[in-house]
Structure 1
């Protein structure tokens, strides 16, 4: 087999191109920061700004809020750091770490930090930049830094982040460092005791399993009652096929995991009736929790997630919203939105319109429009499908497991 050898000069050229490419990307990020700062400065109201930026840039509202903070802080109060980004001397990730480390600092002290960072950031990675900025901030505002350490602890919280293929991450954010180290040491010691000769799990897996068992109270023989909604084809539940199921707020999960979740002793099932040609929910069967025809429950099952474009909060956290129908009526224009998007109804310039096909069009104060289409519960069926139901028949037998 013939092999080729790449000359060092060719590799050097590729690396040089990579560096130049990164500089150009940094300049574009700086340009975006300027535009975001200008947009916020010219807007009539602060409320709804993160939502507008999120829609315009196809990012989450949390990310949009952080983008606004960085744009306003760096362009107005840290011009030297911003100039480094604008010249391509530092990447956006470094600029963002500077933003995070100075978030609590009064605007009056930012120029001094900015001056000290001017020659300290180039060539640094994001972790190094964060540490350098933290040290600089501690010198510039010693008393404030000490108070900030206490304030950060008061902001501790548990964060759940959904992953892919039936996984998620659970973390304690802003935990006191001494408690976090002690907790990790305890979990590590317990996991190492379980690592016997016949144990097939890795030490990492044992740490994760030990921590989850502790949090779920298994050491006390307890059982945690979890309330979640799972949507699956009845034939999938019966084991006749392996079509993926949908876990509300998470997304698609494999059939074997769906059946495992449904095997709980306190599981409640509810039949869902769909329109076969569209896959949209039209009716709910009776269950122990809700009566047939309950509009609130029907909307939440139909939408499953917040209907605002880009929002993925699960339907159990949403609020019913009465919006303008495409023909001007509001009686039937009921959708599920999360509390944050629901509040936009009261903000001047925002308009929500439900189209005839169930699509929701959101108009922002700047006049931009964004549309979300309701996700079908199953693949729409066409005339080419062998088992296409005749008019008036129901779609595939779907159920909700709670």
Structure 2
């Protein structure tokens, strides 16, 4: 059990904690919850075993979920989903279960591993699991899921391309009613098209409002989208947009099928990365990375280049560099870690991308920030002197393809 469990007895002990002790207790409770979730998964897996038909690949009894649902106050569908997850994690993902039991990841991340590896072979699933868990739970669920997607693309590039092509054939637009005279217009699109469309809408919205425009940016974007779809252009000025396509050099040359990335979206199959990087449309900016360590080799200078230094730092950092923030780097401030007025240099070793909120927090919230060189490794020290290390997620995951599963010899 957690060391400060006496503080959990009621509001009085907790009321006596200082800020540092509150943070310690919160982290301990989360770890303890993960341990209990792992115990629940093991218990549910045992229940599956007891209620399953015999055979090498047991099938859960159709009535087992109903028993669980009654005991845990769940719907039958929710209970069935829990039993399926328990069976998957215990049978296919033992390292994930161990990480959950140790408090290294939470239940949401464990479920993400199961979802991401569902279509993979046992060998490929183990390779993804090993690679992603080696770096822990990341600073957010979004980062963790991106790491999973990147690993899946690396270990199964052929399958990834087939899945992309299949999903592309499912593209569609839907509309649904909402309350208060509103509706939801929803589109399922290839990532490259969706990213370019959003950047175009966003750029037009930023140029559309006068200084005294009372609309929020969300309102402006909605109005721009409606105007474009209905042909009400309102004399919008032409805007220039730029989307980064990150591709390892050996992938661009066709030597490997290591996955690429779409800036602002995340990992994409190697074939799609090559197509976008070679496209004639100058909206796309090709970004080459070293196939060994993922460091930047070249940022193409097609049309509409921003300042080279800003482009380099934004490409390196990807997002706001506060550990749990996912604000895209292109929408962030470039911050001097050591203030320019105090002699700080204007180079990659002293620049970070920070969203406006965390930029202000750094300067006014008593946080200390240390940037270790131009590669972007950052150490944040909180007002309670808690230390958090973070580095940009690499643009490649060097995962050797696992050996194929072979039939046993005939003797």
Q: Same fold (TM over 0.5)?
A: no
Bigger Rg, structure 1 or 2: 1
Instruction: Sort the TM-score into its range (normalised by shorter chain).
Output: 0.3 to 0.5
Q: TM-score, normalised by structure 1?
A: 0.43
Q: How does the TM-score come out when normalised to structure 2? A: 0.42
